[in-house]
Amino acid sequence: MTIAPARLRPLLAVLPLGVALLMATSACAGSDAAAPAQSAASVSAESAAAAAESAPAAPSEPAAAAPADPAVKEITVTIAGRKVTPPPGRIEVAEGQTVRITVTGDAADEAHLHGYDKEAELKPGVPASIEFVADQTGLFEMETHESGLQLFQLVVR
Amino acid sequence: MLLAHGVGGRQDLPIPFSAVLTGAALALLVSFVALGALWKQPRLDAALTAARSVPAALQTVVTAPAWRWIWRVAGLVAAAYFCIGLVFGPDRADNPTAGAFYVLFWVGLVPLSLLFGPVWRGLNPLRTLHLLACKGLGRDPELGLRPLPAGVGYWPACAGLFAFVWLELVAPERATLPVIGAWLAAYAVLMLAGAVVFGSRWFGHADPFEVYSDLVGRLAPAARRGDGVVVWRNSLDGMAGLRPAPGLTTLVVVLLGSTMYDSLSNAPVWVRFMQESAVPAPVTGTAGLLAVIAAVLAAYRAATALAGRWGAARPGTTAGQIAHSIVPIAVGYVVAHYYTLFLLEGQRTIALLSDPLDTGANWLGTAGWTIQALGTTPAGVATLQVTVIVIGHVLGTVLAHDRALALFPRRTAVLGQIPLLVLMVVYTVVGLLLLFAA
């Protein structure tokens, strides 16, 4: 089988170049350098006018991506009817960090963190807590079973 | 795609913004190269006249009647096993049905078709049931009660595809057995009824999974040519063989738009909007899905209309002729979006499939599987996502370029391509931005 007909070779030459560029880029933005790279990216994202959809993601990042991470990341959520305070957004934690989530709702429900599969029983007005070590990277949703509300997205880098 | 506790527990991290910029820059670079440095005469060989055939041994195996029957039976057996969990299993998080349907089947069709061509045509249990019934009754499966009307094209499959993506992305309680069962029952009835009326050709026009597998399968490295010979084929020639037909444009747009909506629906902005709105979630979800598909379609029609005007093509033909070049972009985006879901949830589902009745059994021997990461580090996944999106863009650009050379007269060929290349860059950049922000 001919690997690459002559007519397609110039084009196929671009591909390995592109992949190499990408590898170099992600190696620089790899997991060790992820936090400063992401803060730098969020600053450049706010100044880049073209990225209209990245603007909502940016405000939640400066609040969470503090350079000196505290030992335990505290997340507090209050539910009143269908209103979630703070409004659903992305909360960043570092891999290996301990996370404590406290949810207070006004109705009997169950809050569930996907991926980690942690659950908290909610009784009206009583704060419920979950504490765990964020040992898996990825994006995980926290939501309630009965009312089906998304509380926030936990981003573990 | 987050359905329930069972499916999609862990999702990918947003890609770094540097990856978006790199991908966008590459997309632009590719477009300029296509315009300036690529061939000046249409070169793609859709009829595969110059293709080399596969080794004789492989040719004999693949063209034997027994080969088709093996896969038909395999499809029936797999469907029957799937129905055990669907019909008799308890409706709990450990039921593998949702994972098997949305992940192993729907997402799995893509790599299977990319490797082996239009596989669902060979595996479709409904087609097999119709064939067996016809053989039993002594009828020709291709003949129905009446011929399929001429202008039907892909419209039924387009409607079916929309029905599926609506189920997958918007339907309330979509990971529960009653909802999946109801959808599959309606789908089976419509497909079989249509086959009875119009013959087995109905499946090729109306079955969304067959048509999806067929579109993606055009990128596969080997194909059965018109004269029955199996040949090696490069993806560009394969995709160029997709002829315009009624409904094709909308079908491809639904595919691309629905995957974009899937990304968008996970964005915190959209979640906030949906939750704080007084309108019930399925209504806002449907509206959002329709809006994204409509936006993709509007952009497509505007770009192709402009290209047709500037390129001095016959009016109204450009949209249908260029639709095939959007397929690689859509496929690249589907792969980027669902890759880790397929790897991780796929493993989980295969483990759960050993015990569809939730009795502690281990019928397939996979119940004890632990989920392996299989190289899904954040940096690796981000690289892969941007790479496949850029590859999709490259293929799409080359396909559009080649078709434009055939459609437009020489003096206007360059000008006519500009709106098409802009359209593709926009689709690719929007795809990258959605991976970054949503």
DSSP string covering B252-279, please?
Answer: HHHHHHHHHHHHHTTSHHHHHHHHHSSS
CA–CA dist B386, B107 (Å, integer): 18
Q: Which of A11, A26, A41 has its CB closest to that of B38?
A: A11
CA–CA dist B191, B179 (Å, integer): 18
Say if the Cβ atoms of B10 and A21 lie within 8 Å.
Answer: no
Predicted ipTM of the assembly: 0.82
Q: How far is CA B194 from the centre of its chain?
A: 22
Between chain A and chain B, the number of residue pairs with CB atoms below 8 A apart is 152
Identify the DSSP state of B91.
S
Do A14 and A81 share a domain, yes or no? no
Looking at the domain assignment, is residue A65 inside a domain? no
Do A96 and A142 share a domain, yes or no? yes
Do A92 and A128 share a domain, yes or no? yes
CA–CA dist B366, B116 (Å, integer): 25
Do A17 and A76 share a domain, yes or no? no
Q: How far apart are the CA of B358 and the nearest CA of chain A, in angstroms?
A: 19
Contacts of A86 in chain B (CB under 8 A): none
**With a CB-CB cutoff of 8 Å, which residues 349-388 of chain B face chain A?**
377-380, 382-383, 386-387
Q: Which structural domain, as residue segments, surrounds residue A87?
A: 72-156
Q: List, for residues A109-136, the tens digit of each pLDDT value.
A: 999 998 888 889 999 999 999 999 998 8
Q: List, for residues B282-321, the tens digit of each pLDDT value.
A: 999 999 999 999 999 999 999 999 999 999 888 888 999 9
Which residues in chain A land under pLDDT 50?
1-4, 26-68
Q: Which of A21, A34, A138 has its CB closest to that of B22?
A: A21
**With a CB-CB cutoff of 8 Å, which residues 61-100 of chain B face chain A?**
none
Please tell me if residue B322 touches chain A, with a CB cutoff of 8 Å. no
Nearest CA in chain A to B51: A1
Alpha-helix residue ranges (DSSP H) falling in chain A: 9-28, 34-47, 54-64
Q: How far apart are the CA of B217 and the nearest CA of chain A, in angstroms?
A: 19
Best of A2, A3, A11, A144 to substitute, by most chain B Cβ atoms within 10 angstroms, is A11
Looking at the domain assignment, is residue A137 inside a domain? yes
Question: Max alpha carbon distance in chain A (Å)?
Answer: 71
Do A41 and A91 share a domain, yes or no? no
Q: How far apart are the CA of A103 and the nearest CA of chain B, in angstroms?
A: 17
Contacts of B438 in chain A (CB under 8 A): 53, 57
| pLDDT tens, N- to C-terminus, chain B (438 residues) | 555 555 667 888 898 898 898 899 998 888 888 888 888 888 888 888 888 889 999 999 999 999 999 999 999 999 999 999 999 999 888 889 999 999 999 999 999 999 999 999 999 999 999 999 999 999 999 999 999 998 999 999 999 999 999 999 999 989 899 999 999 999 999 999 999 999 999 999 999 999 999 999 999 999 998 888 899 998 999 999 999 999 999 999 999 999 999 999 989 999 999 988 889 999 999 999 999 999 999 999 999 999 999 998 888 889 999 999 999 999 999 999 999 999 989 999 999 999 999 888 899 888 888 888 887 788 889 999 999 999 999 999 999 999 999 999 988 888 999 999 999 999 999 999 999 987
Do A44 and A83 share a domain, yes or no? no
Nearest CA in chain B to A147: B275
Q: How far apart are the CA of B52 and the nearest CA of chain A, in angstroms?
A: 7
**C-alpha to C-alpha distances, A68 to A38, A65, A93, A136, nearest whole angstrom:** 15, 9, 12, 21
Say if the Cβ atoms of B37 and A10 lie within 8 Å.
Answer: yes
Identify any residues that bridge with A99 across adjacent strands, giving them in sequence order. Answer: A73, A132
Say if the Cβ atoms of A56 and B269 lie within 8 Å.
Answer: yes
**pLDDT for residue B2:** 55
Beta strand A98-105 pairing with A72-80: parallel
Looking at the domain assignment, is residue A54 inside a domain? no
Q: Is B192 helix (H, G, I), strand (E, B) or coil?
A: helix
Looking at the domain assignment, is residue A55 inside a domain? no
Do A76 and A152 share a domain, yes or no? yes
CA–CA dist B377, A12 (Å, integer): 27
**pLDDT for residue A61:** 42
Q: Total domain count for chain A?
A: 2
Say if the Cβ atoms of A30 and B437 lie within 8 Å.
Answer: no
Looking at the domain assignment, is residue A10 inside a domain? yes
Looking at the domain assignment, is residue A94 inside a domain? yes
Q: Which of B379, B394, B437 has its CB closest to that of A54?
A: B437
**pLDDT for residue A56:** 40
Do A19 and A80 share a domain, yes or no? no
Do A142 and A85 share a domain, yes or no? yes
Do A99 and A143 share a domain, yes or no? yes
Say if the Cβ atoms of B437 and A84 lie within 8 Å.
Answer: no
Give the predicted TM-score (pTM) of the model. 0.86
Say if the Cβ atoms of B5 and A114 lie within 8 Å.
Answer: yes
Nearest CA in chain B to A140: B10
Q: How far apart are the CA of A71 and the nearest CA of chain B, in angstroms?
A: 22
Nearest CA in chain B to A19: B387
Do A104 and A137 share a domain, yes or no? yes
Looking at the domain assignment, is residue A133 inside a domain? yes
Contacts of B436 in chain A (CB under 8 A): 51, 54, 57
Looking at the domain assignment, is residue A147 inside a domain? yes
Q: What is the CATH number of the domain that holds A132?
A: 2.60.40.420
Do A43 and A94 share a domain, yes or no? no
Nearest CA in chain B to A5: B234
